[in-house]
Amino acid sequence: MLVAVHRAKLNGSGAGAPELSPHTTQTNEEWIMSDPAESQARRRFLKIAVVGAAVAPVAAALLPRIARADDMAHLDPNDPTAKALGYTEDASTAKGNPVYKAGSSCQGCNFFKGHSEMAYAPCDLFPNKVVSAKGWCASWTQKA
Ligand code: SF4
């Protein structure tokens, strides 16, 4: 289609009846239809566009699901590393820990990888697990 418009402009005409190009005995339409390579390329492009349009919504629906923290296991406070660091799902229970700072929780920790509305999110210290936003451990570090 672009070629047709382009050719029509080169020939000094717009939409309308086919006319002969000054450099060939073919009309614009004959010239376009007689170019099998371009026709095949156009068909290939259209196939890719149709497949892409069909696949894009499916991919868009799947990708966030793959990365969802909801699907990850919660860190067990009895996990040996979690236990060693005094991890708890409720920071208020950590007040007896000598390194606990008032008001600190996973939500405000630099290692917490969630946003403010996430109840659980990944933590850099515990791969493949999520920790409670209200939790705490002795490695708590003020969010930068
Ligand atoms: S390192 Fe931070 S985010 Fe991770 S469990 Fe400890 S306090 Fe929570």
- What is the atom index within ligand 1 of the atom nearest the CA of 136? 7
Q: Return the CATH number of the domain spanning residue range 69-132.
A: 4.10.490.10
User: For 2-22, how does the pLDDT look when each residue is reduced to its tens digit (9 = 90+)?
Assistant: 444 444 444 444 445 455 445
Does the beta carbon of 112 lie inside 6 Å of ligand 1?
yes
Does the beta carbon of 104 lie inside 6 Å of ligand 1?
no
User: For 32-84, how does the pLDDT look when each residue is reduced to its tens digit (9 = 90+)?
Assistant: 555 666 666 666 656 655 555 554 554 454 455 445 778 899 999 999 999 99
Laid out side by side, the sheet with 120-123 consists of 73-74, 126-132, 120-123
- Residue pair 97/105 in contact (Cβ under 8 Å)? The answer is no
Tokens of 47: 């196939």
User: For 95-119, how does the pLDDT look when each residue is reduced to its tens digit (9 = 90+)?
Assistant: 999 999 999 999 999 999 999 999 9
Residue nearest to atom 6 of ligand 1 (CA): 137
- To test the pocket of ligand 1, the residue of 111, 113, 129, 134 to mutate (highest count of ligand atoms within 8 Å of its CB) is 111
Per-residue burial over 84-119, b if 16 or more Cβ lie within 10 Å, else e, is ebbbbbebeebeebeebeeebbbbbbebbebeeebe
- To test the pocket of ligand 1, the residue of 109, 110, 120, 128 to mutate (highest count of ligand atoms within 8 Å of its CB) is 109
Tokens of 8: 């029509």
Distance from C-alpha of 61 to C-alpha of 116, rounded to nearest angstrom? 23
Percent of the chain's residues with pLDDT above 70 = 53
Taking the CB of residue 126, how many other CB atoms lie within 10 A of it? 21
For residue 110, report the phi and psi dihedrals to the nearest 5 degrees. -65, -20
- Residue pair 82/96 in contact (Cβ under 8 Å)? The answer is no
What ranges do the domains of the chain cover? 2-66, 69-132
User: What Å distances lie between residue 120 and 5, 63, 68, 71, 73, CA to CA?
Assistant: 57, 19, 11, 10, 10
